[in-house]
Amino acid sequence: MASGSMPPSQPSEPSSELAALYRRQREPMVRLARLFTGSSAVAEEVVQEAFLRMHQQAIRPDNPDGYLRTTVANISRSHMRRLRLERRVPEQDRVTFNDPVIDETWAAVCRLPFRQRAVLALRFYEDMAQADIARVLGCRVGTVKSSLNRGLSKLREELS
Amino acid sequence: MTEIDSLEQRLRRTFEAVAAQPVRPSSTGTDSSSAGTDSWWDGGTPARAHRNLRRTVATVAAAAVVAVVALLVAYGPRSSDTNPGAVPAGAPGNSVQAVFAPATPVPQAFVEHIESVLFRRLRAFGDTGATVRTGVGGTIDVTAQNLTPAETHLLGTTDSLYIRPVLCGAVAARPADVSGLLSGPLPSCQAQDETSAANLDVNVRTGVPANVIPPDPGFASYSTTSEAADDPSATVLLAGDPTSGAQQYPRFVLGPAQLTGSAIASAQAQSLGNNSGSDVLITLTRSAATQWDEVAQQNLHQYLAFDLNGLVLSTPLIQPLNSAFVSFDGKMQLSGNFSAADAKDLAAVLGSGPLPVRLVLQSLTTVSTALGTARTG
């Protein structure tokens, strides 16, 4: 029989700023990461890991909210890449709704490559400008523009 | 231009709908006042820390068969009083005011977490207009419409669901009036009574063990572990739910929990059709899915027990028809003689995350708004 897991060693506690950031931003970041990854379960793990990194690296960025958003985007991309799922979200992880329009649209979004999906989410869910999206995703504005156009074109083809 | 606008609107609506899906509350404290071994900043590397976090609070899984039923309806409120002024006039049906108190003192961060879990449970019960507030003296006050006694009880349960290996069966306790029962550390199962894969010798063609392992008589002098003492890290001696599928033995000796209920990503009641009742489909978080596969593989052709709040609901034999382990893909089906309401309530509790501490019902007020009078709940 396998034995139960042992508790880890006692860690240092996070700074009050990071604890406040966790309380304020955990839920919004899980929602955003869900749009990046297509999965609630993965989104929770991504956000958890983002906070852990910020804590363990003792990072105190000037703009913690923006830094966190970028970290969540990076971890989401790494996670999807590790799983070789970057170009699509597994169907079993995809949430479904009773609204066929939303189901169809979300299924099509989940079939997009990660960057296109992330750009669309940041543009139409977060209402971010293209320059801001470029900062979050660590790419050029031109890449954001092309990803946006390609993503919209693919969706237009699939949903027409 | 119109087409683009339409697509953008469609995307905005879709993203809003996806993002609006409930987010499970963090299963750990959210500030330093709640520091503990399962805090989110715990552990060495992020990955390991996360696995540890999930393991210490983690969950359950797939394709196992569990019967529950009576647990959901066997409990009622513990006390009640009346307070007719508490219910807004004109509300349809009966309105319930329940006042809970944590069984043990908790920091404020936990109170907020408890309120969040209760609110999610109430919404999952179908009560979208329910309110949850912190009351006088740290109580947690719930106002809801048409809350059943079973739902009221379920609101306050910790949802302590543990997956434990069955080490052996145990005979019923000797009557306590003959001599006092022992409650200390449990002895080991006798080798011939262990429900190991070697002793059971499962026939993969029939899915049935070749050997019937009798209950170990050495536990007759030991009392059954109480719900309060149902420590996930300890070996326990639990009874089976009398109406569930856990009927192989009068009692079960169970090893430390390998998974707990906290890593359930979602739970959904579903009808089986043909008057076959309902079951609960559970989807695990990704890390829990991996852990469940590891646990199930380690216990291939052995019994695993589903321990909910100190009662064994079921002891499925793991993949008796498979000669080699096959992944459960993060799914689990809890089935049995559930009514639709039972399955819905169970799914609501399992899918809303655990409470960090059990809640004790302090008072219950039920008011018939049609008549404007109060009655006991």
- Pair A43, A33: CB distance under 8 Å: yes
Q: Which residue has the higher pLDDT, B373 or B57?
A: B373
Quickly tell me which residue has 């999206």 as its tokens: A133
Provide the pLDDT confidence category of residue B187 given band limits of 50, 70 and 90. Answer: very high
Q: Shortest Cα distance from A78 to chain B (angstroms)?
A: 13
**pLDDT at residue A118, rounded to an integer:** 93
Q: How many beta-carbon contacts under 8 Å exist across A and B?
A: 156
- What is the average per-residue pLDDT within B321-333? 84
Give me the domain span that covers residue B113: 76-158+354-376
Alpha carbon distance B238, B246 (integer Å): 11
**Which of B368, B354, B372, B360 shows the shortest CA–CA distance to B116?**
B354
Q: Which residue has the higher pLDDT, B104 or B219?
A: B219
CB-nearest partner of A45 from B42, B50, B52: B50
Is residue B359 in a domain?
A: yes
B10 vs A105: CB contact, 8 Å cut-off? yes
Measured between CB atoms, does A159 come within 8 Å of chain B?
Answer: yes
Q: Determine which of B9, B286, B352 to mutate to test the interface with A (most A C-beta atoms within 10 Å).
A: B286
Q: Does B121 score more than 60 pLDDT?
A: yes
Q: Shortest Cα distance from B300 to chain A (angstroms)?
A: 10
Q: Which residue has the higher pLDDT, B326 or B70?
A: B326
Helix/strand/coil percent split, chain B, to 5: 30, 25, 45
Alpha carbon distance B305, B65 (integer Å): 10
Alpha carbon distance B260, B180 (integer Å): 32
A155 vs B7: CB contact, 8 Å cut-off? yes
Best CATH choice for the domain A96-160 from the list 1.10.1370.30, 3.40.50.300, 1.10.10.10, 1.10.630.10: 1.10.10.10
Provide the pLDDT confidence category of residue B26 given band limits of 50, 70 and 90. Answer: low
Best CATH choice for the domain A14-86 from the list 1.10.1740, 1.10.287, 1.10.357, 2.60.40: 1.10.1740
**pLDDT at residue B377, rounded to an integer:** 40
Q: Which residues of B touch A51 (CB under 8 A)?
A: 40-41
**Which of B272, B261, B215, B228 shows the shortest CA–CA distance to B353?**
B261
**Which of B133, B103, B135 shows the shortest CA–CA distance to B118?**
B133
**pLDDT at residue A151, rounded to an integer:** 93
Number of domains in chain B: 1
Lowest mean pLDDT among A16-20, A67-71, B4-8: B4-8
**pLDDT at residue B306, rounded to an integer:** 81
Q: Determine which of A12, A13, A95, A110 to mutate to test the interface with B (most B C-beta atoms within 10 Å).
A: A13
Provide the pLDDT confidence category of residue B182 given band limits of 50, 70 and 90. Answer: confident
Q: Does B24 score more than 50 pLDDT?
A: yes
CA–CA distances in Å: residue B83 to residues A121, B145, B373:
49, 15, 9
Provide the pLDDT confidence category of residue B253 given band limits of 50, 70 and 90. Answer: very high
CB-nearest partner of B44 from A7, A8, A101: A8
Query: Other C-beta atoms within 10 Å of B212: how many?
Result: 9
**pLDDT at residue B124, rounded to an integer:** 79
**pLDDT at residue B337, rounded to an integer:** 59
**DSSP tally for chain B: helices H, then strands E:** 8, 16
Q: Shortest Cα distance from A62 to chain B (angstroms)?
A: 21
Q: Shortest Cα distance from A23 to chain B (angstroms)?
A: 6
Q: Which residue has the higher pLDDT, B18 or A120?
A: A120
Kindly list the domain boundaries of chain A, sorted by start residue: 14-86, 96-160
Residue B356: HSE in the Cβ half-sphere, 13 Å Cα cutoff: 23
Is residue B97 in a domain?
A: yes
Alpha carbon distance B357, B156 (integer Å): 9
Provide the mean pLDDT of chain A.
Answer: 80
Alpha carbon distance B376, B81 (integer Å): 6
**pLDDT at residue A82, rounded to an integer:** 64
Name residue B84's amino acid.
Answer: P
Q: Does B367 score more than 80 pLDDT?
A: no
CB-nearest partner of A49 from B7, B20, B46: B46
- This prediction's pTM: 0.47
Q: Which residue has the higher pLDDT, B205 or A60?
A: B205
Query: Which chain B residue has its CA at the smallest distance from A154's CA?
Result: B7
A8 vs B23: CB contact, 8 Å cut-off? no
**pLDDT at residue B2, rounded to an integer:** 44
Q: Which residues of B touch A20 (CB under 8 A)?
A: 31
**pLDDT at residue B62, rounded to an integer:** 32
Is residue B242 in a domain?
A: no
**pLDDT at residue A16, rounded to an integer:** 77
| pLDDT tens digits for range A82-106 | 655 444 555 555 666 767 888 889 8
CB-nearest partner of A7 from B14, B37, B284: B37
Give the CATH number, domain containing residue B364.
3.30.70.3400
| pLDDT tens digits for range B235-245 | 999 987 665 55
Q: Does B234 score more than 50 pLDDT?
A: yes
CB-nearest partner of A124 from B15, B39, B256: B15
Provide the pLDDT confidence category of residue A146 given band limits of 50, 70 and 90. Answer: very high
Q: Which residues of A touch B295 (CB under 8 A)?
A: 2
Q: What is the DSSP letter of B267?
A: E
Query: Other C-beta atoms within 10 Å of A73: how many?
Result: 25
Q: Does B371 score more than 50 pLDDT?
A: no
Strand partners, B177: none
Q: Which residues contact B73 (CB under 8 A, 6 or more apart)?
A: B150, B342
Q: Shortest Cα distance from A140 to chain B (angstroms)?
A: 23
- Pair A48, A65: CB distance under 8 Å: no
Most confident range (mean pLDDT) of A8-22, B212-226, B260-274, B356-370 is B212-226
**pLDDT at residue A64, rounded to an integer:** 86
CA–CA distances in Å: residue B36 to residues A27, A123, B40, B113, B368:
21, 39, 9, 15, 44
Alpha carbon distance B56, B144 (integer Å): 33
* pLDDT above 90: percentage of residues in chain A: 23
- What is the average per-residue pLDDT within A29-48? 87
CA–CA distances in Å: residue B322 to residues A26, B171, B172, B302:
41, 30, 33, 12
Is residue B368 in a domain?
A: yes
Q: Does B207 score more than 70 pLDDT?
A: yes
**pLDDT at residue A149, rounded to an integer:** 94
**pLDDT at residue A88, rounded to an integer:** 52
Provide the pLDDT confidence category of residue B194 given band limits of 50, 70 and 90. Answer: very high
Most confident range (mean pLDDT) of B2-11, B220-229, B297-306 is B297-306
**pLDDT at residue B41, rounded to an integer:** 60
Strand partners, B306: B163, B314
Query: Which chain B residue has its CA at the smallest distance from A96's CA?
Result: B18
| pLDDT tens digits for range B36-50 | 334 556 543 334 334
Q: Which residue has the higher pLDDT, A127 or B110?
A: A127
**pLDDT at residue B175, rounded to an integer:** 67
**pLDDT at residue B155, rounded to an integer:** 83
Q: Does B150 score more than 60 pLDDT?
A: yes
